[in-house]
Structure 1
């Protein structure tokens, strides 16, 4: 187990002292500079920095999860099952909703800013050794997570890939089980222009001799790519949509993993902040509110198909290479005005990529020939949220926030401040 030298606060849940962040702006400024580097796939940088820090990622076994949609939900459920079985469990996911610390959880709770900054400085120093290395923002948070899990003495980690799998930094963890969720078109500018190419990248999290459980796929090319990589280690898992919502669809898979690893999880409530059902349902007085991080064609279609009652939609999305293709199911669904009487377009504030402008969204809507659906545009997502909530209340309808995890994060931060909630409690997953 790694140890920090000096008067550090090793409890990962120690709250930040008043004014402490001001003393540590240099580390955060360095981290923020990583944002300008964008996406850079490859393992060499992280492998070298981890080596300089003593290879903390090899001190605990990990379950490594890849896929286009659902991998975060599966990861948090696995984390809850592991923790409730008595294991100290690290959970690494991305992106974050409000604060970077939530990417790194121990037994469901985000690590404290104090510990995060201590470890961030260790990563910074290691990267600046000669020859200097410049890790990306994602790589930096992954490196911090590996140190956090090592120092906290986790028994196991649950690791969500950032993008793809073969060249994702998380490929370096010591996995004793790999898992694949759905495969669909997303990040094609990095992972390939066909489903088969994307499946090949994601399935490459497989390690020879290590079991890989994959959700059953329908595309023959995807199936062939996964089977070629997984070989005898591959176990197909039938995807059965739960009757109530897809959140529950992974429960049988988690139960199977628990049996495979000898876990005996107790019944425990699992919450995935900003994603799981009922989270945020009371954010608008008198209106049932649902939050969705769906942002690509597959997830948008899936979530919109679950709506059965009149629902006002608040929609915002970050720019992406396949924008029109991603919007196809959204535009098709909202044309059913008996279910979606009104749409409010807005622009997420945060995010790796800039937001699609409300003007562009409105224009695309007209191009699809469904300009008759009443819509309103409001760039400010906080104002748009209030407008959409008022519309839903007047129409006696529900409210759906969808299109971007960053939009959900913007609104979560707003509600926490509005209602004077404890952010760290709100961000606790289980």
Structure 2
């Protein structure tokens, strides 16, 4: 970064960070760890307890349920996630509330001062954001910090912090340019968040063998779904079996494997689980952009075949009298054919939309792939907003729309055509209408 005057607004800081580093993703811990050392982040524990969550899919829902469950048990939480959906402030939550601009700016200023306190260190947008969030969390007097790993695990900036409990949700192909396509190799990268002699909660029964191998080599305490803990049933009235046995749990509208994983991780972090408190937390948890229903519209940020398969399963379990139309917008480095194949059995027609930016995929590209898969393409949207507006004018009362493929796609539709619907839902006391949460 240059020595020009520092911004005094959050948008100014974000613009500065976006232009500061020659590449957007620069894996490695040496630079970020050096600045963390200068900031004093290693001088004392970040928090009373730290849970780190890695995985290809399911991180966001697991973090949301960890936060809701911990808070209902009286624990003060500090949560760091990425990416954000609508506002950068979403990335840092302190005691259940999004951080205000002043807190985020103070964190950025602390990072800037530290990276220039000696030989200047170049940091990416994500690395500055992570360090700024950790600086704020260290000052928040929280009982529990919940940290979501951004990409990979071993070399992610979050991994400079040693967790008391490490969680791995799922392992599938995504971010192939950085993590490759070998699932065993991806599993080893995700398992890089594990620590010797500390609990490792494995939240999927289909993880590659490399995850357990890394855990065994480290001597981590493994708690695996289907072994040390499990969940029985689907939907309403499911049961958790782990350190506690909790029955008659509500469907949170999020993957139940992730709910069980959150319960197990919290128990290992020291939360004494109350059956009734767990039921209340899971009944009320919300996560915008994950199976979020606004009238006829379902919005989900799923952008790889694994996530799309889950979406298809949930839609199949909730049939509608009309047609299911998918508004699909994806980045060019994602497996569009895999996503289309997973969703095709539950989609009657498609409206592909072009995204903006260097990594974007065009509606024409998606349309060609859709037709090769036998899909019926109704319209090619110039943008997610234009596609949603075109579609809204043609929906029958019994139709439904799935908006998916990217955080960018969901965010644009939420901020545009569905902004009024979202506002009315919030006025009614429902920040987002999540399937099955009521």
Bin for the TM-score computed over the shorter chain:
0.7 to 0.9
What pairs with 1:338-353 in structure 2 (closer than 5 Å)? 339-349=346-356
| Contiguous gaps of at least 5 residues in structure 2 | 1-6, 236-252
Offset from partner CA, 1:4-47 (integer Å, 9 cap, x none): xxxxxxxxxxxxxxxxx875665333222247521111111111
Q: C-alpha offsets along residues 116-138 of structure 1, whole Å, 9 cap, x if unaligned?
A: 11221221222222211111111
Residue 248 of structure 1 deviates from its aligned partner by 3.2
Greater mean alpha carbon deviation, residues 339-348 or residues 41-50: 339-348
Distance 1:84 1:37, change over 3 A: same
Alignment of 1:413-428 (within 5 A): 413-414=415-416, 418=420, 421=423, 426=431
The match for 1:58 is: 45
Task: Identify the structure with bigger relative contact order (alpha carbons < 8 Å, sequence gap 6+).
Answer: 1
Q: Do residues 209 (structure 1) and 197 (structure 2) align?
A: yes
Task: For residue 67 of structure 2, give the secondary structure of its aligned residue in structure 1.
Answer: helix
Does 2:382 match 1:379? yes
Deviation track 1:81-107 (CA, whole Å, cap 9, x = no partner) reads 112222221111111111211111112
**How far apart are the structure 2 equivalents of 1:113 and 1:384?**
33
Structure 2 SS opposite 1:178? strand
Q: State how far apart, in whole Å, the 2-side matches of 1:318 and 1:168 are.
A: 22
Q: 2:367 aligns with which of 362, 370, 380?
A: 362
Task: Tell me the CA shift for residue 74 of structure 1.
Answer: 0.5
State the Cα distance separating 1:230 from its structure 2 match. Answer: 5.2
Contact 1:89 1:106 in 2 (8 A): yes
1:113 matches 2:101: yes
TM-score by length of 2: 0.81
Deviation at 1:142, TM superposition (A): 0.5
Equivalent of 1:243 in 212, 224, 234:
234
Q: CA deviation at 1:212?
A: 0.3
Distance in 1 between the 2:11 and 2:349 partners?
43
Paired residues, what number?
Answer: 392
Q: Partners in 2 of 1:23 and 1:383 — Cα distance?
A: 31
Q: Secondary structure at the match of 1:98?
A: coil
Aligned to 1:17: none
CA distance in 1, matches of 2:137, 2:208: 39
2:247 alignment partner in structure 1: none
The equivalent position to 2:31 in structure 1, one of 45, 48, 53, is 45
SS in 1 for 2:13: helix
Where do 4+ consecutive residues of structure 1 move more than 6 Å? 422-425
Q: Structure 1 residues 211, 219: closer, same or farther in 2, change over 3 A?
A: closer
**Within-5 A mapping of 1:195-234:** 195-218=183-206, 221-222=209-210, 225-229=213-217, 231=219, 233-234=221-222
SS in 2 for 1:204: helix
Bigger CA drift: 224-233 or 86-95? 224-233
1:400 aligns with 2:393: no
Preserved contact between residue 183 and residue 217 of structure 1 (Cα < 8 Å): no
- Residue 77 of structure 2: aligned partner: 89
Contact conserved, 1:314 with 1:384, CA < 8 A, in 2?
yes
DSSP 3-state at the match of 2:201: strand
Q: What pairs with 1:231-380 in structure 2 (closer than 5 Å)?
A: 231=219, 233-238=221-226, 243-244=234-235, 246-260=254-268, 261-264=270-273, 266=277, 267-268=280-281, 269-275=284-290, 277=291, 279-282=292-295, 288-308=296-316, 309=319, 310-320=323-333, 323=335, 326-331=336-341, 333-334=343-344, 336=345, 339-349=346-356, 354-368=359-373, 370=374, 373-380=376-383
Kept after mapping to 1: 8 A contact 2:184/2:209 = yes
